Structure 1
Amino acid sequence: MDRRQAIKAAGLLLAEASIGASVAKGQDFGALLEDFGKELLRQQLSPENIQRTLKPHLTGETFPIRTADGWTLVAHRFRPSTGMRPGTMPVILCHGLSYNAQFWDISPEVSFPQYLAERGWEVWVVNLRGSGLSSKWVAKIDAAPTMVVGGLIRRATNNRMAPTGYATLDPKFARWNLDDHINYDVPALVHLVRSHTRAPEVAWVGHSMGGIIGLCHLSRYQNPGIGRLVTVGSQVTMPNGQLATQFLMELLALRQGQIAGEILPEELIIDSKTSIDNMFFNNSHVDPRVYRALTHDGVDVPSIGLLQQYLTLAARKELLDAGKTFSYAAMLPNVQAPILVACGSADQLAPPAVQQTIYERVGSTDKTLMYFGRAQGFAADSGHSDALVGLTSRQQVYPYIEQWLLGAR
């Protein structure tokens, strides 16, 4: 067993230990790891470490917004190519767990924002906290230390955003959970788009967790700013959590290894997603180049608190808040906005049965259920992620979602 495998195995043991009774103490464990992160902060602030590697990011203009609890989120704006199409509302595209905004624009062949912009839509691709250019903790200074040198870079570029955004060595940005996305990120991003476009409402399109938080925000707050909602591969129930638990435990091991400064995130993310590959992709329906890109530029490491909330979902079979005081799944009748509930017909993380539950429970009178598969007339039985980045997504899935957003389905 090599060093990286040993670290991964140790991390998995820690993850296993966090399930059950110890899951309730997840935030305490997160605090312990953050204390360790403060020592890393001191180690990394040496002059020889003040170097940075700039990574390319999405096309489109970037806009920051500050949440009510002090995080900065970044959205990428794609303006319509030939003027705003009549009868459309701005569209927010939100990524899922372990991804960032790059998911939506990873390649021109599978760029949903470019597809919509070419057809007259205003599109905003967002990064949730802990991902992309938004506020997030990093273990090493060359992984985007804007806390240290970001101000210098902004002055040198006439106060434009640093290429690596709002990443920081401050360990307080290592902690968040699903409730923070629901309570703070969603309203901040909706406000950002509405304030810049003057639109009374936006359409929220979420993949996986990106759909979960839109759905749960509407179930809890009935936010009038979201006029239409599309969820692709989202879930608030989990009838069979075995595969999901395996994946979540590996992500926990990754986060623990990252905080300890012992693991390269890219390597373990590839290991994790490859080891249970079929849960994310129908391999015959995705370009290998897109898959490789998604396991590098398109990923970010979730927090321990967020992953433990997912583990509770896998264990309890329904999505609860972090304090386990109420069930988001039970609140779905509060959702009244028009909604498209969808997934790939071969999705193993959020399978059709899970989508059927969402469809039946939401209170919306305007609701549609769709599985992207051969039985429904599509060219392939899509998996969890390739429903949106697959070989036939641009030709079949994008037009279907667009037509639904127009109210034509």
Structure 2
Amino acid sequence: MGVPGLLGLAAWSFYVLVLAVQPHQAHGSIRGSFGLNKDAVASPENGLCASSVTVHGYKCEEHEVTTKDGYILSVQRIPEGRVGGTAGTKKQPVLTLIQHGVTVDGLTWLLNSPEQNLPLILADNGFDVWISNTRGTRLSRRHVSLVPSQPAFWNWSWDELVSFELPALFDYVYGQTGQKINYVGHSLGTLTALASFSEGKLVNQLKSAALLSPIAYLSHMKTALGNIAAKSFVGEIGRLFGLAEFNPKGEAGGDFLKFLCDNPGVDCSDLLTAIAGKNCCLNSSTVDLFLMNEPQPTSIMNMVHLSQTVRDGVVAKYNYGRLDYNLMHYGEAVPPIYNLSNIPHDLPMFLSYGGQDALSDVLDVEHLLDDLKSHDVDKLSVQFIKDYAHADFIMGVNAKDVVYSKVVQFFKRQH
């Protein structure tokens, strides 16, 4: 069995949901492969630094970032390589901000061993690494005036991540360091970045961007379960939930899963392949660690917005489903489209996508690349990995050599 990556679309969340609720057989010792401290990794409520970074000999700082719409985000900083290691250097480190996707949090970047996970590989290569945790997830459930039990706390979609969350993170990290930022996103973390770049946000503080398993268009998503889930989030949401928070581990989440699996043509016996494509390179110990800690909540509104992206075939702002609401928010009846061809043509970008990914489908990535056809040739690097699916980019045991080495090289070329 595999494990989901941090995805940026509705269907992936359902795969995560399924893993959370179905019986799971252990794959062997958690400690066996990597010598990880199971209890520490499984208890990030004390902070990701303590559970997953300092235990491996790295310096780590816990930070808080408050967005303009009032959410208080947990952010971890790994300022340098392993203490006492050869990577520790006094030269100015290269700045990197790492963003996860929907229904997971920053911990999923850290589940593999230090030699195999991207944040610590970057730190050992002289990078000052910042890991964010999106609003609503375990460590970012605070607000200046709201609490998660209030529906208003969940009144946001990925539009607000574009408008408020990423700008707050960039402002804070830039303010702390005075350096332009190299950005890494996976799945939803690529969608929000692309939308931001297309509106001219972040670009003045941005040095370059590495987008892993990029999500923009979702018209060719190869999954019956995911497509039914996306349609259900548009049409069935009120009946099935009546809630503002989407918690995959909750009772309503289990009921929704049963509803999905009862649909004709949906095979819930091999969910990883059916939803995300066949991941080639996941370690069973990492799967176990993932299942101890994820999935994480998000907003119903966010899931509806992602489902609209699947259904409508465009990258657009949230559709309120009522003419008067759209007019009130946008001054027009139809939500505006994020025009990805407006992304600055001289912005250095690295895109890496997989041939087995059923979510970030090859044809949809090619649609995205067509939007970028006017990009400066020497500023756009594209990697295609035939055997990779969605989760391999985050937790693949060979991702260090296949993907992360390319990310490090790409970032260092920008200096």
- Residue by residue over 1:301-344, the C-alpha shift from the partner in whole angstroms, topping out at 9 and shown as x without a partner, is 2211111111111111121101442112x333333311111112
Task: Give the structure 2 partner of residue 353 of structure 1.
Answer: 363
Aligned-partner residue type, residue 67 of structure 2: T
Does the CA contact (< 8 Å) of 1:232 and 1:342 recur in 2?
yes
- Residue by residue over 1:34-67, the C-alpha shift from the partner in whole angstroms, topping out at 9 and shown as x without a partner, is xxxxxxxxxxxxxxxxxxx974542232111111
Does the CA contact (< 8 Å) of 1:91 and 1:123 recur in 2?
yes
Cα distance change, pair 284–368 in 1 and its aligned pair in 2 (3 A): closer
- 1:221 is aligned to 2:200: yes
Could you tell me the TM-score, scaled by structure 2's length? 0.68
Q: Displacement, 1:98?
A: 1.3
Alignment of 1:310-325 (within 5 A): 310-323=306-319, 324-325=334-335
Q: How many equivalent pairs are there? A: 324
Does the CA contact (< 8 Å) of 1:84 and 1:121 recur in 2?
no
Alignment of 1:273-284 (within 5 A): 276-278=271-273, 279-280=275-276, 282-284=278-280
Aligned-partner residue type, residue 295 of structure 2: V
Classify the secondary structure of the residue corresponding to 2:241.
helix
Classify the secondary structure of the residue corresponding to 1:213.
helix
CA distance in 2, matches of 1:261, 1:232: 25
CA distance in 1, matches of 2:200, 2:371: 17
Task: Give the structure 2 partner of residue 395 of structure 1.
Answer: 401
Classify the secondary structure of the residue corresponding to 2:77.
strand
Aligned-partner residue type, residue 367 of structure 1: L
- The structure with the greater share of residues assigned to helix is 1
- 1:235 is aligned to 2:215: yes
Task: Give the structure 2 partner of residue 297 of structure 1.
Answer: 293
Cα distance change, pair 99–247 in 1 and its aligned pair in 2 (3 A): farther
Aligned-partner residue type, residue 103 of structure 2: S
Alignment of 1:245-394 (within 5 A): 245-248=227-230, 256=241, 264-265=249-250, 268=254, 276-278=271-273, 279-280=275-276, 282-323=278-319, 324-328=334-338, 330-336=339-345, 337-362=347-372, 363-365=374-376, 366-373=379-386, 381-394=387-400
Provide structure 1 residue ranges, at least 5 long, that are not aligned to the other structure: 1-11, 16-52, 138-145, 148-165, 374-380
Classify the secondary structure of the residue corresponding to 2:161.
helix
Cα distance change, pair 382–167 in 1 and its aligned pair in 2 (3 A): farther
Aligned-partner residue type, residue 132 of structure 1: R
**Which residue among 112, 123, 130 is the counterpart of 1:107?**
112
**Which residue among 121, 132, 138 is the counterpart of 2:138?**
132
Does the CA contact (< 8 Å) of 1:101 and 1:132 recur in 2?
no
Q: Displacement, 1:351?
A: 1.7
Task: Give the structure 2 partner of residue 155 of structure 1.
Answer: none
- Residue by residue over 1:202-249, the C-alpha shift from the partner in whole angstroms, topping out at 9 and shown as x without a partner, is 011100000111111010124311110111112221222462323546
CA distance in 1, matches of 2:314, 2:245: 31
Of the structure 1 ranges 82-91 and 249-258, higher mean CA displacement relative to structure 2 is found in: 249-258
Q: Displacement, 1:126?
A: 0.4
Alignment of 1:167-182 (within 5 A): 168-182=148-162
Q: Displacement, 1:94?
A: 0.3
Of the structure 1 ranges 268-277 and 119-128, higher mean CA displacement relative to structure 2 is found in: 268-277
CA distance in 1, matches of 2:111, 2:335: 38
Could you tell me the TM-score, scaled by structure 1's length? 0.69
Alignment of 1:54-203 (within 5 A): 55=45, 57-59=47-49, 60-81=60-81, 82-83=87-88, 89-108=94-113, 110-135=116-141, 168-199=148-179, 201-203=180-182
Task: Give the structure 1 partner of residue 19 of structure 2.
Answer: none
CA distance in 2, matches of 1:69, 1:274: 41
Classify the secondary structure of the residue corresponding to 1:102.
helix
Classify the secondary structure of the residue corresponding to 1:312.
helix
Aligned-partner residue type, residue 206 of structure 2: I
Alignment of 1:28-39 (within 5 A): none
CA distance in 1, matches of 2:126, 2:241: 44
Task: Give the structure 2 partner of residue 4 of structure 1.
Answer: none
Does the CA contact (< 8 Å) of 2:348 and 2:380 recur in 1?
yes
Task: Give the structure 1 partner of residue 323 of structure 2.
Answer: none
Classify the secondary structure of the residue corresponding to 2:127.
coil
CA distance in 1, matches of 2:290, 2:232: 17
Cα distance change, pair 360–89 in 1 and its aligned pair in 2 (3 A): farther
RCO (CA 8 Å, sep 6+): is it higher in 1 or 2? 2
**Which residue among 200, 204, 226 is the counterpart of 2:183?**
204
Cα distance change, pair 354–262 in 1 and its aligned pair in 2 (3 A): closer
Provide structure 2 residue ranges, at least 5 long, that are not aligned to the other structure: 1-10, 15-42, 50-59, 82-86, 261-267, 320-333
RMSD: 3.5
Of the structure 1 ranges 399-408 and 114-123, higher mean CA displacement relative to structure 2 is found in: 399-408
